[in-house]
Structure 1
Amino acid sequence: MADPPGGAGDPAKMNWSSPGEFSSLTTKELQQNLRLEKRRERPVQLLFEIPSSRIVHQSLSKHVVHEVVVMRSGSFDSRRVSVERRYSDFCQLHHKLQEEFREELEEVQLPRKLLTRNFTLDGMSERRLALQDYLSQLFALRCIRHSPLFAEFFTTPEQRQAHVLLRAGQFKASVELLQTILEIQEKLLLWQKPTLLVPTLSALVVCYRDLDQPEEAICTANRVLPTVRRYGLRVYRAALLELMVDLGYQLGRPVAQLQEELTVLRDSERGEATQRSLKEVVISNFI
């Protein structure tokens, strides 16, 4: 009879310090254990792929946008998440990084602008491979992969668009975009501060509340509140607590502790910052 997972026959759970047990393993079990050990030791990395490009035609001009896919190694990425960026976006990123990390970037060169063949299949393919390699070189530098500038490259345009939609009352469209942003940020989170997710999660709370989805709103609020508390984000904290109290009453949940926390916070720091709604706080980030 086969052993259950985690039992005596599971190579992942065996005590490998015993020579007797080691010698009794089959070749297949040894190979399986080796793969498991390598998987545990292999550090998680970000991988970048630019699989496609397209030409955008405007009234008096045209330009190329490249699909940039962000993936994590070491685990199965079940969802393909990508954004589109122009070559000029890469130029802006490089310029910002050079202002802060000029010495560290001495060996990293931004692919040169093509003077011809910009819109040919060969030219776009060549550009994709060069930009893909450029992102990998940036990520290889510790100072860059931990820099907020690197994370912002993958999300800021979409965040601005999501907030435009939010201000226009197009909450469903905003949620779809914010969820994509959140997935990318979660892939980047190992190398960024946890506060990276706060603006996105807070915007989702606002959208869910205005879409009359209180369960989703309170669930997302509960996810973001610990980070807001831990890092002392007072503007978010007061607005978030106020919204959570309202949602708690709506859902028939206990709110006494949240109400007390909100009262203490407002008494300790009187001012306009603690009186703004969460929607006002969220929108102010991208005005």
Structure 2
Amino acid sequence: HQAVIFPFICGHSPPLSEYSNASLSPNSLMTTKELQEYWRNEKRQCRQVKLLFEIPSTRIVEHHLSKYVMYKIIILQTGSFDSNKSVIERRYSDFEKLHRNLLEEFSEEMEDVTFPKKTLTGNFTEEIINERKLAFKDYLRLLYSMKYIRRSKKFIDFLTRPELQEAYGCLRGGQYTKALEILLEVIGLQERLTRGNPLSIVPTLCAIVVCHKDLENPASAFEYGEKALSCLHVHTSHRYYIPLLETMITLAYELGKDFLSLQEKLEEWKAKKDPIRVFTLKELAVREYVQ
């Protein structure tokens, strides 16, 4: 029997009712249940990943000479469970700096975007804090709805840079467990924010490799190294390519994996390029986000 084939257009599957009378023989390739699952998977793959912003709570921070409100921002992926959420904290001045930076580059797009103004008094009252929570939530939602802004480095930096700076500070200080914990939190958000630009996450992936390697987790280091290499497969002139390749050869040898194919890529690169000073992966990683 020939299997019934159903047309599918990305993001627009026909309703099941259209096929309710279709006779599926026992030898058909898919049952109705399998077809439903197939359509769901296809839609998931084709649907653009969208993020939602929630600001559920705040906390007041007091130092010797300063006092400010930290806003807890939860970033959720649409249609996902809690495992796909990211949690960050930002203060009013962080939002203010983002707004100022975006105005410099996107003055036209930002024309109708309002920003919560400063008040001379009452900044720490429950009423003002609640107003700002709602205002900042709407502000982030509006920024994310504009394609050029959500893809901009300034917007992505606002959501990821403070955590990355902390992680790299820990890495430079030899606090690999703490650095790894932060990097693993950030990488998921980075991936969702920078879809279509895989090169932008290579430094973070390589920093994760360095942490796992120094913590003697070679299998995990190799796993993240493979992800980074897949981002670089057509970008062999990238500064991370050769240091990553050399690290992966070492890890593959240690794990009893095929290192010859990696060695061939390294030799191929060396044959094409003039010998130059190449940093190790760790040397490159510790140079990131140096203030």
Task: Give the TM-score normalised by the residue count of structure 2.
Answer: 0.82
* 1:71 and 1:187 in contact (8 A); partners too: no
Shift of 1:252: 2.0
Shift of 1:43: 5.4
Confirm or deny that 1:281 pairs with 2:254.
Answer: no
2:225 to 190, 202, 221: 221
Task: Show CA shifts across 1:104-130 (max 9, x none).
Answer: 110112211232221122221111111
2:201 maps to 197
Task: Show CA shifts across 1:154-203 (max 9, x none).
Answer: 1101101100000000000000000111121133244x512232111110
The structure-2 alpha-carbon separation of the partners of 1:277 and 1:122, relative to structure 1 and needing over 3 Å to count, comes to same
The structure-2 alpha-carbon separation of the partners of 1:260 and 1:100, relative to structure 1 and needing over 3 Å to count, comes to same
Confirm or deny that 1:114 pairs with 2:119.
Answer: yes
Q: How does 1:101-180 map to 2 (within 5 A)?
A: 101-180=106-185
* 1:163 and 1:174 in contact (8 A); partners too: yes
Secondary structure of 2:233 counterpart: helix
> Take 2:49 and 2:231, find their aligned partners in 1: how far apart are those partners?
23
Structure 1 portions without partners, runs of 5+ = 1-11, 22-31
Secondary structure of 1:63 counterpart: strand
1:253 to 250, 257, 274: 257
Number of residue-to-residue matches in the alignment: 262
> Take 2:80 and 2:253, find their aligned partners in 1: how far apart are those partners?
40
2:8 maps to none
The structure-2 alpha-carbon separation of the partners of 1:141 and 1:59, relative to structure 1 and needing over 3 Å to count, comes to same
1:8 maps to none
> Take 1:208 and 1:233, find their aligned partners in 2: how far apart are those partners?
25
Secondary structure of 1:17 counterpart: helix
> Take 2:236 and 2:98, find their aligned partners in 1: how far apart are those partners?
29
Secondary structure of 1:166 counterpart: helix
1:28 maps to none
Shift of 1:141: 1.1
* 2:76 and 2:84 in contact (8 A); partners too: no
Shift of 1:18: 4.5
Task: Give the TM-score normalised by the residue count of structure 1.
Answer: 0.83
> Take 2:222 and 2:21, find their aligned partners in 1: how far apart are those partners?
54
* 2:208 and 2:224 in contact (8 A); partners too: yes
* 2:56 and 2:72 in contact (8 A); partners too: yes
Shift of 1:19: 7.0
Secondary structure of 2:229 counterpart: helix
The structure-2 alpha-carbon separation of the partners of 1:109 and 1:205, relative to structure 1 and needing over 3 Å to count, comes to same
Shift of 1:266: 3.0
Secondary structure of 1:200 counterpart: helix
1:100 maps to 105
Confirm or deny that 1:17 pairs with 2:18.
Answer: yes
Q: How does 1:44-123 map to 2 (within 5 A)?
A: 44-123=49-128
The answer to which of 159-168 and 55-64 deviates more is 55-64
Structure 2 portions without partners, runs of 5+ = 1-12, 23-35
> Take 2:280 and 2:80, find their aligned partners in 1: how far apart are those partners?
39
* 1:239 and 1:277 in contact (8 A); partners too: yes
Greater share of helix: 1
Identity of aligned residues (%): 40
2:31 maps to none
* 2:177 and 2:211 in contact (8 A); partners too: yes
* 2:183 and 2:208 in contact (8 A); partners too: yes
| C-alpha RMSD over aligned residues | 2.7
